[in-house]
Amino acid sequence: MYKTITKTLPAVATALALCATAASAENMRAWNIHVDGHPNTAAMDKFAELVAEKTGGDVTIEVFHGGVLGSQPDALEQVQLGAIDIGNFNLGPIGPIVKEANLVSLPFIFRDVDHMFRVLDGPAGDTMADAMAEAGIQPIAWFDAGARSFYNNSGPINSPADVEGMKIRVMNNDLFTGMVNAMGGNGTPMAFSEVYQSLSTGVVDGAENNLPSFQSVGHFEVAGFYSLSEHLIIPECICVNTAKFNGLSEDMQNALVAAAQEAAEFQRVLWNEQTAAAREAVEAAGVQINMIEDKTPFQDAMAPVYADYLAANPDMTALVELAQATE
Ligand code: BDP
């Protein structure tokens, strides 16, 4: 009897060790809408690499690029439910789910990207992050997404009047439809993956995005004028399903956050480089980049957007004022 036990013990120990490894190993799936060549694709790969490194392989992340796991609104829902663990999300489409996140989707709320990061790093950013975590989408790092500007085919846009009558594709959020409508255009929400085709067939007259995205998915091939209205400065996040994150050991949580922060630093450098490179590339391809000397008329046109928004969401007033007062 004794003999039998001692003989089987090593086998039991091995089996237990295997179980322990299996129980602590985490394989996560991450969603990314961007294709190869976009800064966020490189940054998400970097994030996965750093997580594996920092956890000694206990946590592995498989990143699915190019939106193959679905559109952004769908992926957001999946991350909330925990069917996808992680996403690199733009905060724009998060507004309809998490009211506080709409702060960053108000046109011209930030003076520039640095101002945006100062707000995110302050109390307003904390309020937003807490509300997102509460909704199941916990941000663990912020990415730069530059500024979004209008592009179209009929000619440069110099004033809100030039947007009049134009059907412009926007991301999924009533604030963006309201923004285009306030200029007399027709804001049309649509999945990112459908924009190229819609521009080329005239289903929409224009769209709006930052330069790296305008270039990486070829929108510049079907829209010859890019006008630097820079009306939206919206950050992006690496967001994790909150329950999944809370279920990790403290060490793993720390490793994930550290990896995300490092990946974000890498992304922000790459972002600046590739924004300049994208601009050169689209100009070389014949796109006319149009400077807008005075953006005040665009800002003024947003007065009803703010008024309607704050009338419908009076509890957002303090957060908006906090962001505006941030130096
Ligand atoms: C890009 C964002 C991406 C959005 C896309 C869009 O990085 O998250 O889905 O714009 O316009 O700049 O839908």
Instruction: Spell out the domain ranges in the chain.
Output: 2-145+235-275, 147-233+277-307
Q: Is the CB of 171 under 6 A from ligand 1?
A: yes
CA of 205 to the centre of ligand 1 (A): 18
Nearest CA to ligand 1 atom 1: 213
* Residue carrying the six token digits 């724009």: 92
What are the C-alpha distances in Å from 145 to residues 181, 198, 212? 24, 23, 9
What local confidence, expressed as pLDDT, does residue 135 receive? 98
CB 265 within 8 A of CB 196: no
CB 98 within 8 A of CB 315: no
Q: Is the CB of 215 under 6 A from ligand 1?
A: no
Q: What gap in Å lies between CA 130 and CA 111, rounded to an integer?
A: 24
Write down the CATH number for the domain with range 147-233+277-307: 3.40.190.170
Q: What gap in Å lies between CA 275 and CA 164, rounded to an integer?
A: 28
Write out residues in the chain with pLDDT < 70, as ranges. 1-24
CA of 225 to the centre of ligand 1 (A): 19
The number of the ligand 1 atom at minimal distance from the alpha carbon of 191 is 13
Q: Which residue type, as a one-letter code, is found at position 117?
A: F
Q: Is the CB of 145 under 6 A from ligand 1?
A: yes
CA of 284 to the centre of ligand 1 (A): 23
What local confidence, expressed as pLDDT, does residue 19 receive? 43
DSSP 223-237: --EEEEEEEE---EE
Q: Same fold for the domain at 2-145+235-275 and the one at 147-233+277-307?
A: yes
CA 226 to chain centre: 21
- Pull the structure tokens for residue 144: 């730069």
Beta-bridge mates of residue 169: 188
Q: What percentage of residues in the chain have a pLDDT greater than 90?
A: 92
CA of 326 to the centre of ligand 1 (A): 26
Q: How many other C-beta atoms can be found within 10 angstroms of the C-beta atom of residue 219? A: 23
What are the C-alpha distances in Å from 203 to residues 186, 222, 270? 12, 12, 33
Q: Is the CB of 141 under 6 A from ligand 1?
A: no
Q: Please, what's the b/e burial string for 145-157 (b: 16 or more CB within 10 A of its CB; e: otherwise)?
A: bbbbbbbbeeebb
CA of 254 to the centre of ligand 1 (A): 28
What local confidence, expressed as pLDDT, does residue 8 receive? 44
What local confidence, expressed as pLDDT, does residue 24 receive? 65
What local confidence, expressed as pLDDT, does residue 5 receive? 40
Give which of 101, 144, 168, 159 is closest to 266, Cα–Cα.
Answer: 144
Contacts of 212 (CB under 8 A, 6+ apart): 38, 39, 146, 271, 274, 275, 278
The number of the ligand 1 atom at minimal distance from the alpha carbon of 89 is 8
What local confidence, expressed as pLDDT, does residue 3 receive? 38
Nearest CA to ligand 1 atom 7: 90
Q: Is the CB of 43 under 6 A from ligand 1?
A: no
Contacts of 322 (CB under 8 A, 6+ apart): 119, 122, 123, 124
What local confidence, expressed as pLDDT, does residue 13 receive? 45
Q: Is the CB of 147 under 6 A from ligand 1?
A: no
* Residue carrying the six token digits 């090593």: 10
Nearest CA to ligand 1 atom 6: 192
Nearest CA to ligand 1 atom 13: 192
What local confidence, expressed as pLDDT, does residue 225 receive? 98
Q: How many other C-beta atoms can be found within 10 angstroms of the C-beta atom of residue 311? A: 9
What local confidence, expressed as pLDDT, does residue 6 receive? 40
CA of 170 to the centre of ligand 1 (A): 10
Q: What is the pTM of this model?
A: 0.92
Q: How many other C-beta atoms can be found within 10 angstroms of the C-beta atom of residue 22? A: 8
Q: Domain 2-145+235-275: which topology?
A: D-Maltodextrin-Binding Protein; domain 2 (3.40.190)
CA of 55 to the centre of ligand 1 (A): 30
Q: What gap in Å lies between CA 310 and CA 183, rounded to an integer?
A: 19
What local confidence, expressed as pLDDT, does residue 7 receive? 42
